Amino acid sequence: MIMWGPPPVNEGQTPWVPVDRYAHGGVLDGLLDHSPHQPPDRCTAVVALRWDDEDPPAEHRCLLLTSFDMPFVAWVGLGSRVYVDMNTVVVRVVTAEPPVGGASDDLKDRRPTTAPLVRGLLGIAIADMALSQQEEEEDDEEDGADDDGDDDGLSDEDMDSNGDDDEEEEEEEEDEGVEREAERRRTAA
């Protein structure tokens, strides 16, 4: 079991980007259909999750891009909701690579070592869709700093089909768990 802890230093992540599952040669379809027991090329590890008790069911893959001896952790998250739109996969890049440049720069410019790892896995077209995004801001909601009047900090577009944002929170927690496990393995070696 993966233990939860504080987020890694320098963590940066892109917003979820919707991409057609079969676009650009079906790269995302291949990654989602690939056995989770054997990481695909250019991945160190895979965490595969499926929530059948959700309405509609959801699946998520965390694909670790960095080796266990690298000084930072980077991974790609892929998610889909069964029966909502089987052709759409959401893609997110998460990294703990120390940033360079300004906060308004795209992730590909702020995290120059992570960008080629993502391109190697997803291909240039899909990777650029994700990497050409500004990193998401830290959510201060846990510190009680969310003063915008709503209780979750999410817009209606960010909510899933039944008005629940639990899946997104669970995916973020799972994504953070992959990073912590990789860090634990690096420090244990």
How is residue 171 written in tokens?
């995916």
The band of 54, judged by pLDDT with boundaries at 50, 70 and 90, is confident
Residue 145's pLDDT is what? 41
Place of tokens 């676009």: 23
The band of 94, judged by pLDDT with boundaries at 50, 70 and 90, is very high
How is residue 98 written in tokens?
């120390």
Parse the chain into domains and list their residue ranges.
12-137+162-188
Query: CA separation (Å) from 163 to 2, 49, 156, 167, 175?
Result: 28, 21, 8, 11, 22
Place of tokens 């509609």: 56
Q: What percent of the chain has pLDDT over 90?
A: 43
Q: Is it the case that residue 150 has pLDDT exceeding 50?
A: no
* DSSP code, position 178: H
